[in-house]
Structure 1
Amino acid sequence: MDPHHAKAAAGAGGLSLRERKKRQTRQRISDVATGLFAARGFDKVTVAEVAEAAEVSTMTVFNHFARKEDLFLDRIPEALDLFTRAVRERRPGESPAAPVRRLVLELADARHPLGGLGDTFPAFWRVVLDSPALRARVREAVEEMEDALTAAVAESTGAAPGDPRPRLTAALVVTAYRTVCGTAVARLLAGERADDVAPGHREFTGTTFDALEEALRVLGGPDRAGPA
């Protein structure tokens, strides 16, 4: 879907040949689909057309992607993995916000698509904004992220069943992430360059997560402490 896939592929050296081929096929399908969606619009391209252009069967497409929207929003699994691992593996004594702050800044500095900063990203977001189906899938992904982080917070803090604080913590963390990245994307869509947006993005990320840390301090309870 973007130049960063080369980096991801480089990190897959420990995979079996079969798994590498599966990933390569998945990536090829997504890249072909992204090109078609960008050229014609998401809603005007069928899965059959994607399959034909990628030289695979429609069944193969659905073996790799549960739904058409995931052909374009193919980084949802990666996002879930990155953010939940950050929360589960945070340093002792840290709140769940601290590792997410670091992750967001690292992603932005690397111009990773999940970091919100990149000169090629406006084209991607215009396709999303033009498609009701993609916008709905983004909203679903936000819910999936909140569910996954709720489980990560509850597991890593030993919260009692029924304790509402892991859910509230997860919702606040996801809202902070969406807000800082959404603000950066809005500036990119308005025509600013990523390098010009970056300083303000870092500052706003810091301010936002400082406020989140204070909110979690007031919230208190087991969600405040990191893993033992």
Structure 2
Amino acid sequence: MPARRPAAAHKPTTPAPAPAPTPGLRERKKRQTASRIWHAAVDLFVERGFDKVSVAEIAAAADVSKMTVFNYFGTKEDVLLAPMEEHVSDAAEAVRTRAPGESAADALRRQLLDLIEARDPSVGLSDSPRTLQVLRLVTETPVLLHRAHAFHHRSQQLLATALAEETGDAVLAEVAAAQLFGVRNAVFAEVHRRRMAGTPLNEVAADAATLARNAFALVEKGLSGYAVKA
């Protein structure tokens, strides 16, 4: 009889999320319209620059009315940054849904490494040319860069709120959120810098994963016993 293998060490697992309901026809059409507006806007912004394109011109390029653009997006900045806005609560959600025994740092590290492995556009690792186009637009346009910074700040505040609700200490939650979100921001910034410099995608992704692991290990020296879920 072959020797029995030793049992693998138990690792905390995150409960699988419930499957999202299939969108109906109306919702699918709305998503298609929003996507058409976004693609038309990116094309115009890349060709002429963000500041030199009007909402009316975006509407014409997308074959919709100007009012329709505003029905989907509140401002011209919103048109371009809508995909980013969809991820504003990602960090807080990773903390809220983590498994018992898993720390906040573990949850955020796992989430970030999963995004890197998946070459997710939200990290800047997609091989789509539009990912780089949007990165350049945001980096080179002050009003967009300001909005991107505001987005990151709001994401950090949502993370701090999630930690404070669980631990009851709002001050330490702010400290922890700043440290943990600092890792994400540092990794994102390095990915964006190297992608815009033309470094091959797979090389950037491999280095980003190493950076993420090292940075979280550094942070954990001060946060290893904080916010371990009961």
Say yes or no: TM over 0.5.
yes
Which of residues 13, 22, 31 is equivalent to 1:14? 22
Distance 2:51 2:209 in 1: 35
2:15 aligns with none
What is the root-mean-square deviation in Å for CA atoms of aligned residues? 1.9
Count of aligned positions = 210
1:30 aligns with 38
User: Residues 122 and 188 of structure 1 are in contact (CA less than 8 Å); yes or no, is this contact kept in structure 2?
Assistant: yes
Residue 142 in structure 1 maps to residue 149 in structure 2? no
Residue 128 in structure 1 maps to residue 131 in structure 2? no
1:33-61 Cα shifts (integer Å, max 9, x gaps)? 11111121111111111111111122221
User: Residues 117 and 194 of structure 1 are in contact (CA less than 8 Å); yes or no, is this contact kept in structure 2?
Assistant: yes
1:8-47 Cα shifts (integer Å, max 9, x gaps)? xxx9761222222222211211111111111211111111
TM-score, length-scaled by structure 1:
0.84
Where 1:73 maps in the other structure, the secondary structure is helix
Where 2:88 maps in the other structure, the secondary structure is helix
Return the letter of the residue paired with 2:133.
A
Q: Show structure 1 runs of 4+ deviating over 4 A.
A: none
Residue 75 in structure 1 maps to residue 83 in structure 2? yes
Where 1:137 maps in the other structure, the secondary structure is helix
1:192 aligns with 199
Which of residues 182, 186, 189 is equivalent to 2:189? 182
Residue 114 in structure 1 maps to residue 122 in structure 2? yes
Using the TM superposition, give the Cα deviation of residue 123 of structure 1 relative to its aligned residue in structure 2, in angstroms: 2.6
Return the letter of the residue paired with 1:147.
Q
Where 2:74 maps in the other structure, the secondary structure is coil
Q: Percent identity?
A: 39
Return the letter of the residue paired with 2:70.
F
Return the letter of the residue paired with 1:197.
V
Task: Choose 135-144 or 62-71, whichever is displaced more.
Answer: 62-71
Residue 159 in structure 1 maps to residue 168 in structure 2? yes
1:164-221 Cα shifts (integer Å, max 9, x gaps)? 111222222221101012112211222211112222111111001111222223xx5x
Using the TM superposition, give the Cα deviation of residue 158 of structure 1 relative to its aligned residue in structure 2, in angstroms: 4.1
2:95 aligns with 87
Residue 47 in structure 1 maps to residue 55 in structure 2? yes
1:49-91 Cα shifts (integer Å, max 9, x gaps)? 1111111122221221122112111223321233222111011
TM-score, length-scaled by structure 2:
0.83
Distance 1:69 1:12 in 2: 29
Residue 216 in structure 1 maps to residue 219 in structure 2? no
User: Residues 115 and 181 of structure 1 are in contact (CA less than 8 Å); yes or no, is this contact kept in structure 2?
Assistant: yes
Return the letter of the residue paired with 1:224.
A
Gap change, CA 1:78 and 1:28, over 3 Å in 2? same
Distance 2:107 2:167 in 1: 18
User: Residues 12 and 20 of structure 1 are in contact (CA less than 8 Å); yes or no, is this contact kept in structure 2?
Assistant: no
1:6 aligns with none
1:206 aligns with 213
User: Residues 163 and 227 of structure 2 are in contact (CA less than 8 Å); yes or no, is this contact kept in structure 1?
Assistant: no
Return the letter of the residue paired with 2:61.
A
